[in-house]
Chains A and B, each alone.
Chain A
Amino acid sequence: MRERIELPGVITISSTDGLAWRKRKLTKQGIIYVVLIPTIAYFLLFFYYPFVTNMVWMFTDYNFLDRPRFIGMDNIIRLFHDVYAWRALRNTFVITVLSTPITLCISLLLALAVFYLKMGKAIVRGAIFATYIVSTIVAAVTFKVWFNGELGYVNNVLASIGLKQIPWLTDPFWAMTAIVIVSVWLLIGYFMVIFLAGISGIDSQQLEAGKIDGANTWQLFFRITLPQLKPIIVFASIIAISNYLKTYPSVVILTNGGPYRSTETILMYMFDQGFMSRNVGYASVIGIVIFLITMIIALLQLKLTKFFSE
C-alpha cells in the first residue's frame, strides 16, 4: 500500500502488475508441484517399484518372512519343468481362444439386430447391456447354482425336454464349457454397446449408394458394414483377449481350478504359488510371463491397427 502512494501512477501499475505476475507464476508452479509430486510418488510406489521388485524376486527364494535369497535362474528353469504351470497356461489360452470369437460374433449380431429395430430400441439395448452390469462374482455364483449336477436349473431343463443330464462342473470337458459360457455371457452386453456405437457411425450414404446399385443385404453387410467396423473389431478383440487372459475369480467360484486342475488359469496359479505356497520368487516369474504375453498382444494390436487403417 505504501509503495503505491509514494510512486508515480504509471510505475505503480506496472510494478504491482509485475509483482502480481511473479506471484501468479509462483502459485502456478505451486499447483504443479502440489499435484504432480504426489502423482509421481504414487505411480512409483504402486506400479514401478512393484514391477522392479517382481523382476528382482524372479531370481530369489522368498516367502514374505525371511529375507529374499538369491538363487540365480532356478525359478526360471523350474517354470520350464513345471507341468502345472504349462497346464494353467494352456487352460487360459483355451478359454481365451474359444471365448473371444464367440463373444465378438454374438455381440456383433446382437448389435446389428438392435440397430435395425424400429421400436423399443433403448429398452432392448438397456436390457442386453444389463448383463454386463452383473459382476463376475455374481454371474459365476448364479451359474454355479445353475450348473449344479442334481439340483441345477440347467439339468432340470435338459431333463424336462428329455435330454441326458450333464456333469457340468465335475467333468473336465464340461467344466471348461461352463467357464467359457460364463466368460462369454459376462462380456456380450459390453461389446454389443461398443459395436452399436460403431455401426451407428457408419456412413449411411455409402449404404444408400450400395442399395441403389442393387446390392442385397448380405452384400451390403460384407462389403460396406464389416470393412468399416474393422478397427472397432480389432480394438474389441484386444480388450476381450486381455480380459480373458486374466480369467480368475469366475474359475475360483465355478470349479476352483478342478476337476484335477483341468480349469486352473495362470493368474490363479500365480496367486496360489505366491500367497498359498509362499513361493513368492516363483510367483514373480509367472507374473512376468503374464506381463510378457500382454505386451506381445499389445504390440500385435499396434501392428494390426496400422494394417487395418491402411
Chain B
Amino acid sequence: MVTRERIASLRNPWFTASVGITVAIALVAAVVGFIWLPLQHPGERFTDVWDAICSAAGLVRNAPSGAQIVRADYLTTSVEIDPQMLQGASAESIGRGATLALRCTMCHGARGLSQADTPNLAGQYPVTIYKELVDFKTGARASAVMAPLVADLSDADMRDLAAYYAYLPRVASSGSAAGEPPLIVASGAPLRGIAPCGACHGEVESKASAAWLEGQPAIYLRTQLGAFATGARHNDIGEQMRNVARRMTAAEIAVASEYYTSRP
C-alpha cells in the first residue's frame, strides 16, 4: 500500500525527475530558438544577443538603420473604413445632402440617375460615396471634373451627400435582365489570382467600400477597370482592384461590365 508521500518534494524522485527534465528541455530549446538560431541568420543585423532574443520573441523592431523605407510615389487614400461606418444617417443629414446634391445634378441626374454615362449614385453604399469624395478632394483619385467640385466640401458635407445618395431608391436599369453571371463575376479566375467580382461587389458577398455596380454604365465600368490596370487610378490602398484589373483580359473586362450594366 502507498503511504501518503509528498509529491512536491525534492526527495520525491518523480517530482525532481519530471520537473528537471521538463525544465532542461525548455531551457535547451529556448537557448537554441532564441539565441543560437537567430544568430545563424546571415541576413539579420542584431546589435547584441538581447536584440536577437527580442527578435525571436516577436517584438516589433525598428528597421535596421540605413534601410530604405519604400513609400508610394503617389497620394494614397486617407479614409479608414470599417463595416459599421456611416450607418443609420439622420433625416437632417439626408436633407442637407439633398441640398448639397443640387450641384451634382448636371452629371449625376436629379435623383442620382442619369443617361450621361456617369456613375448612378442612387442607392450607392454611403461608405463608397464618402470615400470617393474624400479621395477626389485629397487628390488620391484624379479627376479634372470632380476635383474643383469637391474642393470646398467639408467632411460633414461629404457625409451628408453620402447619406442622401444612399437614401435614394435604386432604379432598375433599362437593359434586359441578365441571366447567369459570367464566370469572371461568379468564380473569378483562381489560377490568375482573380477573386470573383461578386465576392466583394454583391451577387455573392459584399465587402466594405466595394461599390454597388449593378446598373452602372458599361463604359464607366470599362474605363475604370482600364484605369486600374494601367495604374492611372490608384485609390485602392491594398492594390486589390489594380491587381485584379491587370490580370483581366479585355474580353473579361467587357463581359463583366456588360453584365453589371444589364443588372438587375
Q: Are both chains from one complex? A: no
Binding site for B on A (CB under 8 A): none
